[in-house]
Amino acid sequence: MDCIFCKIINNEVPSDKIYEDEQVLVFGDTNPQAPVHFLIIPKKHIKNIREVSKDDLQIISHIFDVIQNISDKLNLDDGLRIVNNCGENGGQTVNHLHFHVLAGRALGWPPG
Ligand code: 5GP
Ligand code: ZN
């Protein structure tokens, strides 16, 4: 499968890894939109949040647990934003489920 994030998981493409365990990988976004901008992905290839099966829901709660732990380690006490873009209109450009975590500046709302 020609998936850039699967290639990152398999170390076929280098990345700035922040955290890794059996289920997830966290790495810096190559085009950061804030002083802190990392991505968290399941190691299992899941296309997007709408394609998560009931059996895989545990991965989603694990992802949020990992985000909480990393936020603590990075002292993101002033706040952060978790973003999931889903599908074409949602602005998803990589079809491997991922959550953006943005922090380090005041973020505008609403998104464009
Ligand atoms: P999306 O637009 O699908 O929500 O987010 C995809 C994100 O992946 C973008 O923010 C983009 O900068 C990032 N990205 C795309 N290709 C790569 C890559 O090869 N390495 C890393 N670290 N990030 C990537
Ligand atoms: Zn993939």
pLDDT of residue 67: 98
Residue type for 22, please?
E
**What pLDDT is recorded for position 42?**
98
Give the pLDDT score at 1: 77
Ligand 1, closest atom to CA 92?
3
User: Minimal CA–CA distance to 98: which of 19, 25, 32?
Assistant: 25
Q: Where are the domains of the chain?
A: 4-103
- Cβ of 92 closer than 6 Å to ligand 1, yes or no, is yes
Residue 18, pLDDT score: 98
CB 11 near ligand 1, within 6 Å: no
CATH numeric code, 4-103: 3.30.428.10
DSSP β-bridge partners for residue 100? 39, 83
Q: What is the mean pLDDT of each run of 10 residues along the chain (112 residues)?
A: 96 98 98 98 98 98 98 98 98 98 98 91
Asked if residues 71 and 87 have their Cβ atoms less than 8 Å apart, the reply is no
